[in-house]
Amino acid sequence: MALAGILVILQFIPSAVPENSAVNNGDIILNGNAEQVADLLKDACYDCHSNQVDFPWYAKVAPASWLLARDIKKGREHLNFSEWEDYSKRNKIGKLESIQEEVTSGAMPLKVYTLMHKEARLSTAQVEVIKAWTEELTNRIME
Amino acid sequence: MKASLKIAGLILIVIALFVRAKVVERHESLNDGKQAVIEFPAEIKTIIDNKCYGCHSIKGESDDAKAALMWDSIPSYEKAKQVARLDKIIEVLTEGTMPPKEVIEKWPEAKISEAEARVLKTWAEKTADEILN
């Protein structure tokens, strides 16, 4: 009873979950730079690294909403696929290297996320596809 | 005796020429466009030596730090990796996350001043731009 009461009270604390945007002209997929990994990125990365988050039902329920708000905010700061074309060449190359490191080491997608999103779990083969794509896009940017 | 000495001398000269040719060839292959030549002016070298090198070189004790960046390896990386490393260096200098707090708590002299960070960052930006253009 007391716990239920606390949960109700928590709902009145604002969580400031980041907003989505309908138009994303700088999107990496829209601009044809991630064709071979489009579905993988959408399933495994876009919920934190884009302006097109597929919000789950608990996105509005505290305290889950707080964690979600923090992860999306931090995720977008580091890498936002919806604003990819706005990055400088140097930033793109740095970010592609980070993407490769993060997925190869298994640090990304976050465990707390894949626990709730089975479709975001990357197989070894999928990691290899992402790795090959980062190398191919890096080479294209360097040309 | 004299003839054999002459032959030995000749053989030595031929070997020396051959070795030199090999060295030149190897040197050229390191500069075939895959790596960019990166210049470290004295001012930059001093900052790196004093503020970064303790961890980001073979002297370092932290494997994480060495995995993240080895200053001495940058010249041998391919251009894209050189740019990626420089991008990370610029990022940590912008965010002020290096040297890490724990390191500065233990060795206050490791703290990078605003002026030093700015100089190093400008150098890294310029170097990355030169590789990309």
ipTM: 0.84
What is the model's pTM?
A: 0.81
Sign of CA dihedral A82, A85, A86, A92: positive
Considering only the beta carbons, identify the residue of B88, B91, B132 that sits closest to A89: B132
Q: What is the pLDDT of residues A33-49, one digit of tens each?
A: 999 999 999 999 999 99
- How far, in whole angstroms, is CA B125 from its chain's centroid? 16
**A93–B88 CB contact, under 8 Å:** no
CA distance B85 to B82: 5
CA angle B57, B59, B61 (to 5 degrees): 100
Tell me the shortest Cα–Cα distance from B14 to chain A, in angstroms.
42
Is residue B70 scored above 90 in pLDDT? yes
State the pLDDT at residue B17: 56
Considering only the beta carbons, identify the residue of A94, A95, A142 that sits closest to B79: A142
Peptide bond before residue B108 is cis, with ω within 30 degrees of 0: no
Confidence band of B89 (pLDDT split at 50, 70, 90): very high
Q: State which residues of chain A have pLDDT below 50.
A: none
